Structure 1
Amino acid sequence: MSRQLLAMALAPLLGLFILAIGNGFLATLITLRLDAAGESAVTIGWISSAYFIGLAFGAVFNDRMLLRIGHIRAYGSFASLVAVTVLLQGLWLNPQAWFVLRLVGGWATVGVYLVIESWLLTSGDQKVRGRLLALYMISLYAAGVIGQLLLGVTDAMSPTAPFMLVGMLASLSVLPMAMIPRVSPLIEHAEPLPPHRLITMTPTGVMASFGSGLAVAAVYALLPLYLHSLGLTVQQIGQMMAVMVLGAMLLQYPIGRWSDRHDRQLVLILIGAFFALISLGMLLLPSGQWLLAGLLFLLGGGVFALYPVAVSHAADRAPAGALVRMSQGLLLINALGSAISPPLITPVMSVLGDEGLFWSLGGLGVFLVLFFIWRRSVRPAPIPAAPFTANAPMTVIGAELNVTEELLQGAIEHEHHEDLSRVVPEVEVAEPLVGPPREEDAPITYFDVDAEAGAMPGAERHDRTPS
Structure 2
Amino acid sequence: MSRQLLAMALAPLLGLFILGIGNGFLATLITLRLDAAGESAVVIGWVSSAYFIGLALGAMLNDRLLLRIGHIRAYGSFASLVAVTVLLQGLVDHPWAWFALRLIGGWATVGVYLVIESWLLTAGDQKVRGRLLAMYMISLYAAGVLGQLLLGVTEAMGGAASFMVIGMLASLSVLPMAMIPRVSPLIEKAEPLNPLRLITLTPTGVMGSFGSGLLVAAIYTLLPLYLQRIGLPVDRIGQMMAVVVLGAMLLQYPVGRWSDRHDRQIVLIGIGAFCVLVSAAILWLPLNLWLLAALLFLLGGGVFSLYPVAVGHAADRAPAGALVRMSQGLLLINAIGSTVSPPLISPMMTVLGDAGLFWALGALGGILVAFFVWRRSVRPAPVPVAPFSPSTPMSSAGAELAVTDELMQGAAEHEHIEDLSSAVPEIDVAEPLVGPPPPDEAHIAYYADEEAGQVASDPLPSRS
Alignment of 1:222-241 (within 5 A): 222-229=222-229, 235-241=235-241
Shift of the 168–200 alpha-carbon distance from structure 1 to 2, 3 Å rule, reads closer
Q: Report the counterpart of residue 368 of structure 1 in structure 2.
A: 368
TM-score between both structures, scaled by the size of structure 1: 0.65
Alignment of 1:317-336 (within 5 A): 318=317, 324=323, 329-336=329-336
Higher relative contact order (CA closer than 8 Å, sequence separation 6+):
1
Shift of the 184–280 alpha-carbon distance from structure 1 to 2, 3 Å rule, reads closer
Letter in 2 for 1:77: S
Q: Report the counterpart of residue 163 of structure 2 in structure 1.
A: 163
Q: Report the counterpart of residue 139 of structure 1 in structure 2.
A: 139
Unaligned ranges ≥5, structure 1:
386-409, 415-467
Q: Report the counterpart of residue 113 of structure 1 in structure 2.
A: 113
Letter in 1 for 2:79: A
* Separation in 2, partners of 1:41, 1:114: 31
- Output one character per residue of 1:38-88: Cα deviation in whole Å (capped at 9) or x when no partner: 878776665444333322322332232344555554333322321233344
Q: Report the counterpart of residue 218 of structure 1 in structure 2.
A: 218
Q: CA deviation at 1:93?
A: 5.8
Shift of the 328–117 alpha-carbon distance from structure 1 to 2, 3 Å rule, reads closer
Unaligned ranges ≥5, structure 2:
387-464
The question of whether the paired residues in 2 share the 8 Å contact of 1:49 and 1:343 is answered with no
Shift of the 364–12 alpha-carbon distance from structure 1 to 2, 3 Å rule, reads closer
Q: CA deviation at 1:95?
A: 5.4
Aligned-pair RMSD on alpha carbons?
A: 4.4
SS at match of 2:304: helix
Q: Report the counterpart of residue 381 of structure 2 in structure 1.
A: 383
Q: Report the counterpart of residue 65 of structure 1 in structure 2.
A: 65
Letter in 2 for 1:195: P
Once structures 1 and 2 are overlaid, which stretch shifts more, 238-247 or 277-286? Answer: 277-286
Q: CA deviation at 1:139?
A: 2.9
Letter in 2 for 1:290: W
The question of whether the paired residues in 2 share the 8 Å contact of 1:48 and 1:342 is answered with no
Q: Report the counterpart of residue 172 of structure 1 in structure 2.
A: 172
Q: CA deviation at 1:223?
A: 3.3
The question of whether the paired residues in 2 share the 8 Å contact of 1:45 and 1:346 is answered with no
* Separation in 1, partners of 2:59, 2:358: 29
Shift of the 244–27 alpha-carbon distance from structure 1 to 2, 3 Å rule, reads farther
Shift of the 35–223 alpha-carbon distance from structure 1 to 2, 3 Å rule, reads farther
- Output one character per residue of 1:195-238: Cα deviation in whole Å (capped at 9) or x when no partner: 33344444444322211121122323443444454565655444
The question of whether the paired residues in 1 share the 8 Å contact of 2:250 and 2:301 is answered with yes
SS at match of 2:158: coil
Once structures 1 and 2 are overlaid, which stretch shifts more, 285-294 or 318-327? Answer: 318-327
Establish whether residue 242 from structure 1 lines up as the match of residue 280 from structure 2.
no
Q: CA deviation at 1:145?
A: 2.8
Alignment of 1:4-23 (within 5 A): 10-23=10-23
Establish whether residue 337 from structure 1 lines up as the match of residue 346 from structure 2.
no
Q: CA deviation at 1:19?
A: 0.8
- Output one character per residue of 1:67-123: Cα deviation in whole Å (capped at 9) or x when no partner: 455555433332232123334445666654444333211111122234445556677
Q: Report the counterpart of residue 422 of structure 2 in structure 1.
A: none
Q: CA deviation at 1:124?
A: 8.2
Establish whether residue 101 from structure 1 lines up as the match of residue 101 from structure 2.
yes
Letter in 2 for 1:295: L
* Separation in 2, partners of 1:303, 1:230: 22
Establish whether residue 252 from structure 1 lines up as the match of residue 252 from structure 2.
yes
Shift of the 277–136 alpha-carbon distance from structure 1 to 2, 3 Å rule, reads closer
* Separation in 2, partners of 1:266, 1:126: 16
Letter in 2 for 1:65: L
SS at match of 1:190: coil
Letter in 2 for 1:382: P
The question of whether the paired residues in 2 share the 8 Å contact of 1:150 and 1:238 is answered with no
* Separation in 2, partners of 1:231, 1:38: 26
* Separation in 2, partners of 1:351, 1:100: 35
* Separation in 2, partners of 1:265, 1:186: 28
Q: CA deviation at 1:372?
A: 4.0
* Separation in 2, partners of 1:367, 1:140: 27
* Separation in 1, partners of 2:302, 2:79: 31
The question of whether the paired residues in 2 share the 8 Å contact of 1:32 and 1:225 is answered with no
Letter in 1 for 2:241: M
* Separation in 1, partners of 2:64, 2:31: 32
Q: Report the counterpart of residue 27 of structure 1 in structure 2.
A: 27
Shift of the 121–285 alpha-carbon distance from structure 1 to 2, 3 Å rule, reads closer
Q: Report the counterpart of residue 431 of structure 2 in structure 1.
A: none
Shift of the 356–134 alpha-carbon distance from structure 1 to 2, 3 Å rule, reads closer
SS at match of 1:17: helix
TM-score between both structures, scaled by the size of structure 2: 0.65
Q: CA deviation at 1:330?
A: 3.7
- Output one character per residue of 1:347-404: Cα deviation in whole Å (capped at 9) or x when no partner: 555777765544432332233344445555xx3561357xxxxxxxxxxxxxxxxxxx
Shift of the 86–236 alpha-carbon distance from structure 1 to 2, 3 Å rule, reads farther
Q: Report the counterpart of residue 451 of structure 1 in structure 2.
A: none
* Separation in 2, partners of 1:311, 1:103: 25
Shift of the 145–192 alpha-carbon distance from structure 1 to 2, 3 Å rule, reads farther
- Output one character per residue of 1:262-310: Cα deviation in whole Å (capped at 9) or x when no partner: 7755554443343234345445656654333222211111112223343
SS at match of 1:139: helix
The question of whether the paired residues in 1 share the 8 Å contact of 2:209 and 2:330 is answered with yes
* Separation in 2, partners of 1:228, 1:73: 44
SS at match of 1:383: coil
Establish whether residue 274 from structure 1 lines up as the match of residue 274 from structure 2.
yes
The question of whether the paired residues in 1 share the 8 Å contact of 2:56 and 2:335 is answered with yes
Letter in 1 for 2:244: M
The question of whether the paired residues in 2 share the 8 Å contact of 1:192 and 1:326 is answered with no
Q: Report the counterpart of residue 207 of structure 1 in structure 2.
A: 207
Letter in 2 for 1:196: L
Shift of the 347–305 alpha-carbon distance from structure 1 to 2, 3 Å rule, reads same
Shift of the 273–91 alpha-carbon distance from structure 1 to 2, 3 Å rule, reads farther
